[in-house]
């Protein structure tokens, strides 16, 4: 059974710092890996999708990588801003059905 | 930019009552999903729907739950007889062949 874990559970950084959020999964038979942002009491905003044939994706200040062999994905945020403060979730699917298995989330606070 | 919408944003109901949560997926998407998030817990998959039938459902999705696409735009989740433990945020999502799942803002269900 696929389990997805995110480390750290919470992170507080000063504005402008570069940071890395980690996601690990127990079953390397992951197909796609998607990173989301969730603001308090709100829905999930898709940030990046890494498809099976890819190893990383970039969007603006965000870069996500996927290493299936080690069962890990990282989300790199460059030059963090207070507006980046949110919970970041990673989720993987097994390919055949597209159901997403979510991680525990990392609560990020960027201090001005 | 197209987005998934959900109504109502908050539903309060008495235990044992039926509720219907509504979603309008992105118009050209073919895959539809329901997830839920109990307060403080992970986002959990409930059901996926494609070509007018359920493709996969989780253990949570028992006989009390049903989904329907009554017309070309709406996608609904019905809970026949709500329990206290059904209190959660319910998210609808949709995707096309790109595999990125786009989530709605959620419906907060409170069962009293």
Q: How does pLDDT run across A33-73, given as a tens digit for each residue? A: 999 999 988 889 999 999 888 899 999 999 999 998 888 99
Q: Do B45 and A89 touch (CB under 8 A)?
A: no
Element (H, E) at B8: none
Of A51, A98, A105, the CB nearest to B95: A98
Cβ of residue A88 closer than 8 Å to a chain B Cβ = no
Of A97, A101, A105, the CB nearest to B55: A97
CA–CA distance, B69 with B75 (Å, rounded to integer): 5
CA–CA distance, A95 with B80 (Å, rounded to integer): 31
Contacts of A34 in chain B (CB under 8 A): 100-101
Averaged pLDDT, A23-42: 88
Element (H, E) at A47: strand A44-50
Q: How does pLDDT run across B1-17, given as a tens digit for each residue? A: 789 999 999 999 999 99
Closest listed residue to residue B109, CA positions, set B5, B4, B13: B13
Query: Is residue B27 classed as helix, strand or coil in its secondary structure?
Result: coil
**Minimum Cα–Cα distance from A39: chain B residue:** B105
Q: Residues B107, B78: contact at Cβ < 8 Å?
A: no
Q: How does pLDDT run across B10-43, given as a tens digit for each residue? A: 999 999 999 999 999 999 899 999 999 999 899 9
Note which residues in 20-49 of chain A have CB less than 8 A from chain B.
32, 34, 36, 41-46, 49
Contacts of A10 in chain B (CB under 8 A): none
Could you tell me which residues are beta bridge partners of residue A106?
A: A88
Q: Tell me, what's the pLDDT at B77? A: 98
DSSP A60-89: TTEEEEEETTTTEEEEEE-S--GGG-EEEE
Q: Residues B76, B23: contact at Cβ < 8 Å?
A: yes
């Amino acid at each position: 059974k696929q389990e997805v874990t995110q480390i750290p559970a919470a992170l507080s950084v000063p504005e402008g710092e570069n940071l890395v959020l980690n996601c690990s999964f127990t079953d390397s038979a992951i197909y796609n890996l998607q990173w989301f942002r969730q603001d308090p009491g709100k829905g999930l905003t898709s940030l990046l999708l890494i498809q099976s044939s890819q190893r990383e994706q970039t969007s603006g200040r965000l870069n996500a990588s996927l290493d299936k062999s080690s069962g890990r994905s990282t989300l790199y945020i460059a030059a963090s801003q207070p507006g980046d403060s949110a919970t970041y979730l990673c989720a993987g699917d097994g390919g055949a059905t597209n159901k997403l298995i979510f991680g525990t989330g990392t609560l990020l606070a960027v201090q001005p | 930019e197209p987005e998934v919408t959900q109504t109502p944003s908050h539903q309060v109901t008495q235990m044992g009552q039926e509720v219907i949560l509504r979603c309008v997926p992105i118009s050209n998407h073919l895959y539809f999903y329901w997830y839920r998030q109990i307060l403080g817990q992970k986002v959990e998959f409930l059901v996926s729907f494609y070509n007018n039938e359920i493709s996969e459902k989780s253990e949570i999705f028992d006989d009390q739950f049903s989904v329907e696409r009554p017309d070309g735009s709406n996608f609904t989740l019905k809970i026949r007889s709500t329990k206290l433990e059904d209190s959660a945020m319910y998210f609808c999502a949709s995707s096309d062949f790109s595999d990125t799942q786009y989530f709605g803002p959620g419906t907060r269900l409170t069962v009293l």
